[in-house]
Structure 1
Amino acid sequence: MHRRIKNSELIQAQATLFIAIALQVVAARISNSLLPQAHYTIIAVEVFLAAVLGLLATSRKSQARALDHNVSVVFLAILTVANIIALSAVLKALIVENKITDGKQLLASAVVIFFTNIIVFCLWYWEIDSPGLSGKRWSKHDKDFQFTQQDMKSEFPNWSPEFGDYLYLSVTNALNFAPADTRPITRQAKYLMAGQSVVSVFTLALVIARSVSILGS
């Protein structure tokens, strides 16, 4: 079973990126001294990806591909590393230097890192298992995730995952540190989910907990 990427998926992905960009612009105004230069790298790359998705969404050609798969992976890797650097900077200021006393500033940074983590890994899952940013063909023979609907062929004939399914997968993995109803079936999928969970744990357990403690004191 093969399918081409849908314009609705591209629009959803673009909207998701715009949310991330808006969050980071707000964080830059609130906690500019806390976030490193990598924070601006995230914003720049997201603006570029959002623009590309917009061009793809308005194209009349279903085969439109503005990004090769390898290029997509490079951009997503940049986003991932930049977000991890931002988290590391916050943790260093919080634990090693012990110089953070503004709970609002810390909480704003944590919220941005957490939601960026969800968005970036949603795009990762979408890219490796579905058309993704590169618009490649999706095939059941090289899938990385097993969705519940794929086990219910009589109830969901010819079903294939779309962008929203990967967004849900990313949200549940970030909050539960494990998938809810979708199983990773390849090593790259497992590695990505593990990486997302680690970032989520440090963000929720250390940064957000500490910021709430500061606000309550």
Structure 2
Amino acid sequence: MSSDGRPALPAWRRTTADERRWPVALAILAAAGFQLSLPDDVVLGSRWLMPLVEVAVLAVLVVANPGRFEREPGWRRTTSLALTALVSVANGAAVVRLVRHLLEGWGADDPGTLLATGGAIWATNVIGFALWYWQFDRGGPSARARGDRTVPDFLFPQMQSRDIDPEWEPTFVDYLYVSFTNATAFSPTDTMPLSRWAKLTMLVQSAVSLAVVALVVARAVNVLR
């Protein structure tokens, strides 16, 4: 309760402490590691190129602000979005090349490499879209911490009841969960997209995930037979 007797606003609707950087940094490092594990056949240029660029950009952001996502100047916000785009573009290119190679019969002699490649691309897809959801929901991490926007792009279950912890607010882990469930169920589960951009982004993620899973599994089954 607030001092005047009215119910206090939940944490996600008021100003709170800025989100910590380390979960996002770990996710980006994991994505770079998955990309590094891909064979040269499915990557843009050298398989070292994009992971090294992503780690270098991440290092700039961490050095500039290692602790929390405090009110970000324009250049940091732009650089953060560019880093997310790098992860997605690199993985998108890998998806296109993998699909093309599978249609041409690639992987027939090494099902282990085929499954590992598909798994790495799928996992990077989960991380990449989690970053987009986290970057844009209610204006991004800094805007959410300030409570600038009260209308969410994603409706989490905790937002729908005052009986749940009033100190709860979404962090990167919540968006990673949304991305994972969307990539496995090919549809929203407990968290609903409200804005059109959120719906369309989830649609694209589901389509990419379905293409990778369906083609890789089908090819692996043929090989194992």
TM over 0.5: yes
Deviations 1:4-42 (A, max 9, x none): 4322xx111111122222222222xxx223433285554
Across the aligned residues of Structure 1 and Structure 2, the Cα RMSD in angstroms comes to: 2.6
CA–CA distance in structure 1, aligned partners of residues 15 and 97 of structure 2:
43
1:26 to 26, 37, 42: 37
What is the aligned partner in structure 2 of residue 98 from structure 1? 105
Q: Give the Å deviation of 1:98.
A: 2.5
Q: 1:75 to 1:54 in 2, by over 3 A?
A: closer
Q: 1:188 to 1:71 in 2, by over 3 A?
A: farther
Deviations 1:61-117 (A, max 9, x none): 94465854344333323322321211111111111x324322222222211110110
Unaligned 5+ runs, structure 1: none
- The one-letter code of the counterpart of 2:18 is I
Unaligned 5+ runs, structure 2: 1-13
Q: 1:162 to 1:186 in 2, by over 3 A?
A: same
Q: 1:56 to 1:193 in 2, by over 3 A?
A: farther
Alignment of 1:80-99 (within 5 A): 80-95=88-103, 97-99=104-106
Q: SS where residue 18 of structure 2 aligns?
A: coil
1:15 to 23, 26, 31: 26
What is the aligned partner in structure 2 of residue 137 from structure 1? 143
Worse-matched range after superposition: 161-170 or 65-74 = 65-74
Q: 1:99 to 1:178 in 2, by over 3 A?
A: closer
Q: SS where residue 137 of structure 1 aligns?
A: helix
CA–CA distance in structure 2, aligned partners of residues 194 and 60 of structure 1:
31
What is the aligned partner in structure 2 of residue 210 from structure 1? 219
Identity %: 32
The structure whose Rg is larger is 2
Counterpart check, 1:175 vs 2:194: no
- The one-letter code of the counterpart of 1:160 is E
CA–CA distance in structure 2, aligned partners of residues 73 and 86 of structure 1:
20
Deviations 1:108-133 (A, max 9, x none): 2211110110000111111111675x
Q: Give the Å deviation of 1:183.
A: 0.7
1:5 to 13, 18, 22: 18
What is the aligned partner in structure 2 of residue 162 from structure 1? 171
Q: TM-score, normalised by structure 2?
A: 0.79
What is the aligned partner in structure 2 of residue 47 from structure 1? 55
- The one-letter code of the counterpart of 2:111 is G
Q: Give the Å deviation of 1:176.
A: 0.4
Deviating 4+ runs (over 6 angstroms)? none
- The one-letter code of the counterpart of 1:136 is S
1:122 to 130, 133, 146: 130
Conserved? CA contact 1:4–1:136, under 8 Å:
no
CA–CA distance in structure 1, aligned partners of residues 31 and 157 of structure 2:
28
Q: Give the Å deviation of 1:154.
A: 3.1
Q: 1:156 to 1:56 in 2, by over 3 A?
A: farther
